[in-house]
A = this chain, B = another copy of it.
């Protein structure tokens, strides 16, 4: 995926949106919890996907695509904050430091998540000054990637079912926001969003497999979060299903299919190359040997 310029655009867009709502009029502790949830970030992989797709589609409205990328990342951060809470994973560490509820308490973590979901929609709504049609379309895309029945909230909801539909569960929990990120990138550039869903979903599935592998072979320090959580929480995992080598091969196959499914657009070939190059970043070194 593209480098420095995209990273700068993402961080700038996140900072600008967050600064608007955490100024002196805001309750200071909640403002600090929101900031803690967003900065410093992780890989920003979803907003990078969003902007990469927008660029491949011409990116004729950078204000709109920047808003889309920030919204996608705010939603991701919100889901991490709520997932880490005691009634879910009860995770005390995230990105190498205390999770939001560990640092700020449960009440502020709950509110920070709510505030970030809201900020995501506010951010795309503000892009309506540039283009109301694209703004409304973005709002619908991100709502569906988060909400019921197919978004990340639904994915989490399947964890409360005695006999979850594993296909729906995985598509919703990880795939939906990746699909949303890709579709939002296309919509922000004025292109049809729907054809980008498949590429996004496949990348989401690949990322989930990579995460399952890291949960087994990774080191907590490098990941910034505890390992061994899938077994601990009894969650389905590609490693349990296929072994490490099988999971690594599956990851490579998913990434290849994602690249092949990139819809025709001006920057399609460059984007396909970026996606293939990205696969090696997804795959932990220890697992790459098993895949050979």
Contacts and interface: CB of A to CB of B under 8 A. Distances in A.
Given A132-B136, A148-B31, A153 B111 contact: yes
A149 B118 contact: no
A191 interface: no
A210 B161 CA distance: 41
Interface stretch (A48-56, A137-145, A241-249, A258-266): A137-145
Report copies per complex: 2
Nearest to A75: B118
A42 interface: no
A150 B31 CA distance: 12
A-side binding surface: helix, strand, loop or mixed? helix
Interface residues of A, number: 59
Given A118-B147, A121-B139, A146-B118, A27 B157 contact: yes
A117 interface: yes
A133 interface: yes
Contacts of A29: 157, 160-161
B87 A150 contact: no
A143 B22 CA distance: 15
A265 to B, nearest CB: 24
A160 B128 contact: no
Interface stretch (A101-109, A193-201, A213-221, A274-282): A101-109
A1 interface: no
18 contacts: A22-B149, A27-B157, A27-B158, A28-B161, A30-B156, A87-B106, A88-B110, A105-B160, A107-B159, A108-B157, A111-B156, A114-B146, A115-B154, A117-B117, A118-B148, A121-B143, A122-B147, A125-B143
